[in-house]
Amino acid sequence: MKNHEENRILERHRNILYLVCDYLEHNGYIDASDVLFREARLSPEHRVCDNVDLEIIVAEYENYYKMKFQKYPILCKKITGREMTRQVTNASKTVYKSIETKAKSISKQARNDPVKETNLQQKITDDNTNQINLAMTVTSIFPNESDGRSSEELFNVPMEQSMQSKIMKCIEKLYLDNAELRKIAEDISCEIIVNKLNVHWDDVIGLEECKTAVKEAIVYPLKYPIFFDGPFSPWKGILLYGPPGTGKTMLAKAVATECHCTFFNITASSLVSKWRGDSEKYIRVLFELAYSHSPTIIFIDEIDWIATNKGDCMLSEPAKRFRSELLSRLDGLVSNENSNVVLLATTNSPWGIDAALLRRLEKQIYVSLPNEVARLGIFKLYLSNHLLENTDIVNHIVKCTERYSCADIKLLCKQAWLLEISPICRRLEQKETPVTTLKYELKNYEILAKLLKKMSPTVMQIDKYDTWNK
């Protein structure tokens, strides 16, 4: 019986090591997992079962502890200064012990060769210095000693990795005692744009009035908050509406690039859940994360999927609760405490949005079809100088694309380019003519003229947008 219990304890210890190795490997700590695997002498013939996970075990233990003692267990504690000193001392002893062992083994090998012994002694000294340096952390006393470089630049840490680390620390701080909300926060944090979109105002061709309105509504309050206080608080909700393909999402990307703030790109899959009550929790966690990472822009593309004006009789009970939670959270943005959190939304059908939601989107900006100047600016990206120098051709192309959106013009030029390079591709397939130089520009006006007769604009009911705008 005693041997059986001892075997169970040994097997439990071995299983814990396998679980830790599996957890390290799945979270990207490959080197640490390999070191543990070798030092613990684990067998490659065994692996963790599919239905077992270290996080699941910890979560189940937390739930059991909460049910039994009405509070969550404290798994880690902050050590005192004396304990930290003892820990560093033990680490130093371990380092010096390994140095001494290494020196003895090397001296035995080099006892009969004086020259080799001198070189080995120098190597021991260098290794000792490196190992001792690894046992301590050196930090600068004065912050200006880094020559203006950030900690990410000094230690070659990518900006995306640093941002993700800060996000995870914030989540741990907000939801230390609630594993469920912490998991939701981790899911929503995936919607934060951490990499640079590199879309600037100059990249948005035309839409000068829209760009000015967006700057006044979003950029200026974030950059110069001193002018937007008291009774003149900034807008909390901005709606970009207009026909599809006119550049609404492009404007949002420019805002994300120029404002240098946290940018949440929210979609339907980010907030809607099939489980009862989860969608309300997702909205709650979204706004809590936005407040903690302020200044923040919450971007929701095609916001009409959230709430429509079909009436409560057409909505299910979960949809009603979802809309109620969203509207209450939007009302919370009005307070001065949340002055650095802005909701930016886009829609192709503003007349389909619920009136209560539309009221909270205070600033409404109409993104219309491109005018002649904007259309000419778009064509300059695709047409060759030979075509652009011909005034008659340019005027004809601009006139024929009067009701075209920016996306329509881009599609037109792509189709024309495909028709231009088709003969070259066929010759290349037959290995006839090698391509020496290639300019990415449209040169054949006849192809464009034929396509203009065949292709029609995708935007319909433009008068409906003008009427709603008025």
Query: Tens digit of pLDDT for each residue in 66-90?
Result: 777 767 787 787 665 555 555 555 5
Domain with 393, as residue range(s), is: 372-469
Nearest Cα to Cα of residue 135 among 93, 78, 81: 93
Q: Residue 397 corresponds to which tokens in the numbers above?
A: 């192309």
Question: Of 301, 334, 366, which residue sits at a domain end?
Answer: 366
pLDDT value for 134: 41
- The answer as to whether 117 is a domain residue is no
Are 315 and 331 spatial neighbours (Cβ–Cβ below 8 Å)?
Answer: no
pTM (predicted TM-score) = 0.62
Question: Do 225 and 319 lie in a common domain?
Answer: yes
- The answer as to whether 76 is a domain residue is no
Measured CA to CA, the distance from residue 183 to residue 285 in angstroms comes to 10
Question: Do 450 and 328 lie in a common domain?
Answer: no
Question: Of 69, 91, 122, which residue sits at a domain end?
Answer: 69
Question: Do 194 and 336 lie in a common domain?
Answer: yes
pLDDT value for 311: 59
- The answer as to whether 87 is a domain residue is no
Question: Do 309 and 212 lie in a common domain?
Answer: yes
Number of H-type helices and E-type strands within the chain: 21, 5
Q: What is the number of structural domains in the chain?
A: 3
Question: Do 359 and 382 lie in a common domain?
Answer: no
Nearest Cα to Cα of residue 416 among 395, 438, 442: 442
- Give the count of beta carbons closer than 10 Å to the beta carbon of residue 361: 22
Question: Do 385 and 342 lie in a common domain?
Answer: no
Strand partners, 383: 442
Question: Of 29, 47, 69, which residue sits at a domain end?
Answer: 69
Please name the helix (run of DSSP H) or strand (run of DSSP E) that holds residue 296, with its range, or none.
strand 296-300
Question: Do 322 and 359 lie in a common domain?
Answer: yes
Q: Residue 66 corresponds to which tokens in the numbers above?
A: 């909460």
pLDDT value for 414: 92
pLDDT along the chain (470 residues), means of 10: 75 84 82 83 80 79 74 73 56 54 54 51 49 40 41 47 74 81 83 78 88 89 82 85 89 84 79 74 86 85 73 61 79 63 87 84 89 90 90 90 90 91 84 73 89 86 80
Are 211 and 366 spatial neighbours (Cβ–Cβ below 8 Å)?
Answer: no
- The answer as to whether 270 is a domain residue is yes
Query: Tens digit of pLDDT for each residue in 334-353?
Result: 555 555 788 898 888 888 88
pLDDT value for 136: 38
CATH number of residue 307's parent domain = 3.40.50.300
pLDDT value for 332: 73
Question: Do 460 and 321 lie in a common domain?
Answer: no
Question: Do 334 and 231 lie in a common domain?
Answer: yes
End-to-end CA distance of the chain: 87
